[in-house]
Amino acid sequence: MQLEKLVAYHKALADPTRIRMLILLSEGELNGQTLAQRLSVTPATITHHATKLRAASLIQERRDKNTIYFSLDDYFIRTSGSATADLIYRRTAEGSAGEVDPTIREKREKLRVSVLKNFFTTEGRLKSIPAQLKKKLIVLEELVQRLERGRKYEEKEINTFIQTFHEDFATLRREFIMHQYMFRENNIYELNPPELWQRWETLK
Amino acid sequence: MQLEKLVAYHKALADPTRIRMLILLSEGELNGQTLAQRLSVTPATITHHATKLRAASLIQERRDKNTIYFSLDDYFIRTSGSATADLIYRRTAEGSAGEVDPTIREKREKLRVSVLKNFFTTEGRLKSIPAQLKKKLIVLEELVQRLERGRKYEEKEINTFIQTFHEDFATLRREFIMHQYMFRENNIYELNPPELWQRWETLK
DNA sequence: TGACTAATTAGATATATGTTGAATTTGATA
DNA sequence: TATCAAATTCAACATATATCTAATTAGTCA
């Protein structure tokens, strides 16, 4: 049955330790001992979780001597669009060391300007929602920065806000959440701190 | 913490009853009693699951007199790209009654021809993977129909097959799975029956 | 072969969760 | 107000699962 596979997939991702495992693996392959140490659990626990992640085709293994190295299954890495993959993949995009090459910064700014020019009308309305993730994020960030930090918004307010730019408020509202620009609780929306935003600059 | 939300989301979808609930709701809103009956559980169980689905923003509620009607949160409906949303949303796309307006059929054929023409070279190679879901599905279907029904493929075979059309075999292989054209078990790939395929014709 | 290391398995425990029937609450209506 | 229907809460149970320690297996290398 088909249903069961879906459930198994979500079960695999329904545990904090396993997600943290995937996040660690997104920076490169690691063996069981190391994973155990980094996650403060025993090797037995790693084996347990590895079994489930493997069953869901989320990780792969490679053996070298006595040691088994785990890594993300490319099957999984490729995803962007699921919030989960976002969280895990985002970190790999940019090395945690800061400092950006000035040439790179220039390029980014150029891209940003060009996206804004192409996707917004002269009146400032959004012509269409970019399909390409990087461009979409530029647009989302552009919109979201017009919201007030720390203020709580009703769903209706958000809808109205979005509609001044684009008719499809449901999609955009959802994208705000998915890419961590906002969060919602009991239908109240609020801006996330920018550290949590999915930033387009970090995508390769 | 951010991690916890992700986990909660996956937990919400990590139960067969809840997924079946969402599938039922994809055909329209239903109240608790009806859901209970359709799923062969008690109303208490529905309340329990509804609480979790609501917490994950997957359903909405509307009250009419004494009765509460549940429906999918548009937040969720919009998704396409996650296999889960695929499974749930697919059913809503085309009314189960068959028969398609011949004008519509013509339009579809035109779109298909145009996509094939635009995305394939004259040598039959794939120029690029369409970003738009509908077009992507046309391309995927075009590729996948060249595979043999009922035959089991090694991962390497699939890679080789795909590479005759496009270099990025990892992405395409993944798309085959995501959109239900194939399934895999222990790294053996096999075609799904066409009834399971995500068909582009059913997208509006 | 024997010593060593990484991984896995097995058994145990605590916690989480899906389900139910019974009791309670909520809202509508006669 | 009394009554009815739908939903929710509560208490109980069974099952699943995350984690650990200890024992075992697998594989390497001197």
Domain range list for chain A: 2-93, 102-202
> A100-109, A112-121, B171-180: which has the minimum mean pLDDT?
A100-109
Q: Is the pLDDT of residue B86 over 80?
A: no
Q: How far is A24 from chain B (nearest CA, A)?
A: 13
Would the Cβ of A106 be found within 7 angstroms of any atom in strand D?
Answer: no
Specify the higher pLDDT residue, A150 or A1: A150
User: Percent of chain B at pLDDT above 70?
Assistant: 76
Please name the amino acid found at residue A70. F
Phi/psi for A55 (5° steps) reads -60, -30
Q: Is the dihedral of CA B169, B127, A200, B84 positive or negative?
A: negative
Label residue B92 by pLDDT band (50, 70, 90). Answer: very low
Q: How far is B104 from chain A (nearest CA, A)?
A: 25
Please name the amino acid found at residue B101. D
Q: Is the pLDDT of residue B99 over 50?
A: no
Contact B81/B90 with Cβ under 8 angstroms? no
User: CB within 8 A of B55, min separation 6: which ones?
Assistant: B8, B12
Specify the higher pLDDT residue, A57 or B139: B139
Residue nearest to nucleotide C26 (CA to C1'): B66
Q: What is the pLDDT of residue A194?
A: 64
Q: Is the pLDDT of residue A99 over 60?
A: no
Q: What is the pLDDT of residue B75?
A: 56
Residue nearest to nucleotide D20 (CA to C1'): A42
- Residues of A near B (CB-CB distance < 8 A)? 2-7, 9-11, 13-16, 19-20, 57, 74-75, 78-79, 81-84, 87, 131-132, 170-171, 173-174, 177, 180, 183-184, 196
CA within 13 Å, CB half, B112? 14
- Judged by C1' against the alpha carbon of A46, the nearest nucleotide is C7
> CA nearest A118: which of A110, A152, B197, A170?
A110
How distant is C1' of C14 from CA of A57, in Å?
Answer: 29
> CA nearest A77: which of A129, A118, A29, A110?
A29
β-sheet with A59-64: strand ranges across: A30-31, A67-72, A59-64
Q: How far is B201 from chain A (nearest CA, A)?
A: 20
- Per DSSP, what are the bridge partners of residue B69? B31, B62
**Residue A72 belongs to what H/E stretch?**
strand A67-72
Distances (CA, A) of A85 to A178, B43, B124, B185: 11, 35, 32, 22
Q: Distance between CA atoms of A72 and A27, rounded to whole angstroms?
A: 9
Q: Do the chains contact at A14 and B5, CB–CB below 8 Å?
A: no
- Mean per-residue pLDDT of chain B: 78
How distant is C1' of C1 from CA of A47, in Å?
Answer: 30
Q: What is the pLDDT of residue B148?
A: 78
Contact A87/B6 with Cβ under 8 angstroms? yes
> A100-104, A114-118, A146-150: which has the minimum mean pLDDT?
A100-104
Q: Distance between CA atoms of B90 and B23, rounded to whole angstroms?
A: 9
Q: Regarding the domain delimited by B2-93, which CATH topology (the fold level of the hierarchy) does it fall under?
A: Arc Repressor Mutant, subunit A (1.10.10)
Contact A83/B6 with Cβ under 8 angstroms? yes
Q: Which among A15, A81, A82 is the nearest to B7, CB-wise?
A: A15
Strand C: list protein residues with Cβ under 7 Å. Answer: A 31-33, 43-44, 46-48, 50-51, 66-69; B 11, 14-15, 17, 40-42, 44-45, 48-49, 52, 65-66
User: Percent of chain A at pLDDT above 70?
Assistant: 75
pLDDT tens digits for range B187-203: 778 887 665 566 666 55
How distant is C1' of C11 from CA of B181, in Å?
Answer: 42
> A32-46, A53-67, A174-188, B129-143: which has the minimum mean pLDDT?
A174-188
Cα A61 versus chain centre, distance? 24
Distances (CA, A) of A182 to A141, A179, A191, B97, B196: 11, 8, 4, 40, 35
Q: Please give the average per-residue pLDDT across B40-55, as a whole number.
A: 93
Q: What is the pLDDT of residue A200?
A: 66
Query: Which of A129-133, B46-50, B184-188 has the largest mean confidence?
Result: B46-50
User: B83: which chain A residues are within 8 Å (Cβ-Cβ)?
Assistant: 6, 9
Neighbour tally for B57: CB within 10 Å: 18
Q: Do the chains contact at A2 and B87, CB–CB below 8 Å?
A: yes
Contact A111/A138 with Cβ under 8 angstroms? yes
Please name the amino acid found at residue B80. S
Angle at B68 between CA B96 and CA B44, to 5 degrees: 95
- Residues of B near A (CB-CB distance < 8 A)? 2-7, 9-11, 13-16, 19-20, 57, 74-75, 78-79, 81-84, 87, 131-132, 170-171, 173-174, 177, 183-184, 196
Q: Is the pLDDT of residue A28 over 60?
A: yes
Rg (CA), chain A: 20
Q: What is the pLDDT of residue A93?
A: 41
Contact A60/A20 with Cβ under 8 angstroms? no
